[in-house]
Amino acid sequence: MTSYLMNCFLLAQFDNNGGGGGDAAGAAAGGLMGLCCMVLYLLPIIAAIAGMWKVFEKAGKPGWAAIVPIYNLIVLTEISGRDLLWFVLALVPCVQIVALILINIDVAKNFGKDAGWGLGLAFLPFIFYPILGFGAARYQPQPKM
């Protein structure tokens, strides 16, 4: 059975055109499909980064911090008004899910939004961060409890 599957795999890769070079249209279509997939992959990432950049600037922090991997979490923790202990908790596996949700909820509250908006920031950042960053929301830090 294994040799049958191996033969099928090898024969599927055999070019039976005889002259070679007859697959230019297929290669072009594959390249175009790969380009479309790459754009669809990068578009939400770019939207989230641009939105986070504007949120950082609204909070008086450097916007470029949104593209620095660990530093952006430190700045996000500062914007939320939580202690740096929450940054450490956000690095611990399994605990990080709860920590990041609570940090995002506090970021939303500091911009005058509710907890539902914070859940949106946590689970759909490519939608909610651009709305928060480019919208009319203002940074109003809440007093620490």
Q: CA Rg, the chain, in Å?
A: 23
Residue range 19-54, pLDDT digits in tens: 555 577 777 778 888 888 999 999 999 999 999 999
Continuous H helices in 59-112: 69-80, 85-89, 95-110
Query: Is the pLDDT assigned to residue 5 strictly greater than 50?
Result: no
> With pLDDT > 90 as the criterion, what percentage of the chain qualifies?
72
Residue at 109 is within a domain = yes
Residue at 122 is within a domain = yes
Query: Is the pLDDT assigned to residue 103 strictly greater than 80?
Result: yes
- Give the integer Cα–Cα distance in Å for 35 and 29: 10
Query: Is the pLDDT assigned to residue 134 strictly greater than 90?
Result: yes
Q: What is the pTM of this model?
A: 0.77
Residue at 103 is within a domain = yes
**Number of domains forming the structure of the chain:** 1
- Name the nearest CA neighbour of 51 among 69, 38, 63, 39: 63
Residue at 28 is within a domain = no
**Dihedral sign (CA 40, 44, 46, 47):** positive
To the nearest 10°, report the CA torsion of 91, 95, 101, 102: -90
Residue at 77 is within a domain = yes
Residue at 108 is within a domain = yes
In degrees and rounded to multiples of 5, residue 44 shows phi and psi of -65, -35
Residue 77 pLDDT grade (very low, low, confident, very high; cuts 50, 70, 90) = very high
Query: Is the pLDDT assigned to residue 14 strictly greater than 70?
Result: no
Range of the domain at 49: 41-138
> Is the separation of the CB atoms in 119 and 101 below 8 Å?
yes
- Give the integer Cα–Cα distance in Å for 36 and 30: 10
Residue at 90 is within a domain = yes
Residue at 95 is within a domain = yes
